[in-house]
Chain A
Amino acid sequence: MKRTALILIAVVAGFTLAASAGTISGQVSGVAGPSVVYVDAISGKTFPPPTQHPVIDQKGLVFQPHLTAVQVGTTVDFLNSDSVAHNVFWTSIGGNKKLSHNLGTWPKGERKSFKFDTPGAVPILCNVHPEMSAYLVVVPTPYFAVSDQTGTYKIENVPDGSYTVIAWHEGAKNQSKPVSVSGDAKADFTLSK
């Protein structure tokens, strides 16, 4: 009897989980290269920041990767894998110039960390090498994805509900859309300058 009850609970729980989360996928077009697509802030909901540190490397005089997205509160590690000195700085976060920061200049093999507590796009530059640039997009929820080069993206494990989904690209204006998730949902974006 006890065992049957446990199985019943497990089945119900499993069914609930399967039904309550889905995937948002689609295509970002009108721009070249990858975009970030994310679920905007959900009122009344906060999410614990992840403990993992994504890495933005400087290798062969290029930032790698060129585009990174993180949930707000995430600490990012900036690495220098080149044999020359590199610098990392940004002049704003989400257009707010008061959030400009200079991480300094450091040699090969060393890393510097920074915790991003404000959502918004961060244009990352190196003072030593003006042709180097990267973007970090700090988003308010854990539901985000960086698309592939062709603009195809997939955000997994989004709980059922109604959201505002935003597409961001370094060379275009943001576009937002209401998306209702109940199982799998589709959302395509066409961005322009």
Chain B
Amino acid sequence: MKNLVAIFALGSQLFAQTAGNKHIPVTAVKGESWISHLHKRFSDTSMGKTWHSGPVAPMPGEKSTGGQQRLSLDFAARTMAFHGSDVYRLNCRGCHEESGHGTPPEINSVIDPVRATSVEVIMARMKKAGMNMSRANATLLAKQSNTALLDRFHKGGQDMPPFPQLSEPEIRSLIAYLRQLAGVPGAEREQVEINESPAHVGELIVKSTCHICHNAGGPNPNPQQILEGAIPPLSTLTARTSLPEFVRKVTAGSPISMGAAPMPYRGRMPVFDYLSEDEVANAYLYLTLYPPQE
């Protein structure tokens, strides 16, 4: 399987250059996780949580059952057609949830800041409040809110990481989807399609979702340390997990051996059932091609 990845990896590098992200080269994931950066413990934050768990550990003597996987043979060589909804799924949903409401007060809703970028929404709101506003003034307010929203993607905030891995076309498609999610009238007609290379799809998943909790580098914890709450680094992932194991772990969950005398436990890692198997395989491919850095 590893050979297969290596073969397709070559092909995908060619694709990476022709797909829609000319301005931002794919780079390795680096440094500490976002929750390490914030000095938060995995158990005390909603960041990176899907609230879905994997299957319970099998009883002694029982065989662990894994579902049938349907990876495309050419997952590593196929350009994917993405919409803003996919950009949201890979980059935002791990914290802001499917609805965009997040988990306030730790994770703020995206809905109001996005609605604030719409002239129509502002004018309707003011009319309802009995304080009619001119289109010119509403346009000014909408522009300022749009600048604040773009700033958020580029610079992040106190609790939100910046997203330098997103290209301008991706941000444009993401904003179009956010407007649809926030119920801005007519936003469904603004949706645009973009082409993504496999390595970049993997990069987005790893940097925007995995790296929220997993450090890029550092020592691999032993089973006892994992039982005590240690989170393994991304740098050792491809050495300790095969591609099919990884895809199962991320999309469906699988038990993990923990403790001084290792026993199978239900893993703590959230299950990302909203990622396709091909997308997760691209994350593995990306980690192979661009080894994480300390």
User: Which A residues fall within an 8 A CB radius of B?
Assistant: 60-61, 83-85, 87, 89, 91-92, 100, 102, 104-105, 107-108, 123, 127-131
Is the CB of B115 closer than 8 A to any CB of chain A?
Answer: yes
Pairs across A and B, CB under 8 Å, 30 listed: A83-B158, A84-B157, A85-B113, A85-B145, A85-B148, A85-B152, A87-B144, A91-B132, A92-B131, A100-B137, A102-B137, A102-B141, A104-B144, A105-B148, A107-B148, A107-B151, A107-B157, A108-B158, A123-B131, A127-B122, A127-B141, A127-B142, A127-B145, A128-B116, A128-B148, A129-B112, A129-B113, A129-B116, A130-B116, A131-B112
How long is the Cα–Cα vector from A33 to B113 in the complex, in angstroms? Answer: 29
Interface assignment of B125: CB less than 8 Å from any CB of chain A: yes
Instruction: Kindly state whether residue B71 has any CB partner on chain A within 8 Å.
Output: no
Point out the residues of chain A lying under 8 angstroms from B151, CB to CB: 85, 107
Residues of chain A within 8 A (CB-CB) of B113 are 84-85, 128-129
Is B126 touching A105 in the complex (CB atoms < 8 A)? no
B294 at the interface (CB under 8 A from A): no
Residues of chain B within 8 A (CB-CB) of A61 are 108
B108 touches A84 (CB 8 A): yes
Within 8 A of A (CB), among B134-189: 137, 140-142, 144-145, 147-148, 151-152, 157-159
**Interface SS majority for chain A:** loop
List B contacts of A105 (CB < 8 A).
144-145, 147-148
* 8 pairs of A and B residues whose beta carbons are closest in the complex: A83-B158, A85-B148, A105-B144, A91-B131, A127-B141, A128-B116, A105-B148, A127-B116
Among A85, A87, A102, A108: residue with most chain B CB under 10 A: A85
**B67 neighbours in A (Cβ, 8 Å):** none
For the complex, is B73 an interface residue (Cβ under 8 Å from A)? no
Q: Does B133 contact A (CB under 8 A)?
A: yes
Bound-state Cα–Cα, A128 to B113, Å: 5
Complex: A83 Cα to B105 Cα, angstroms:
11
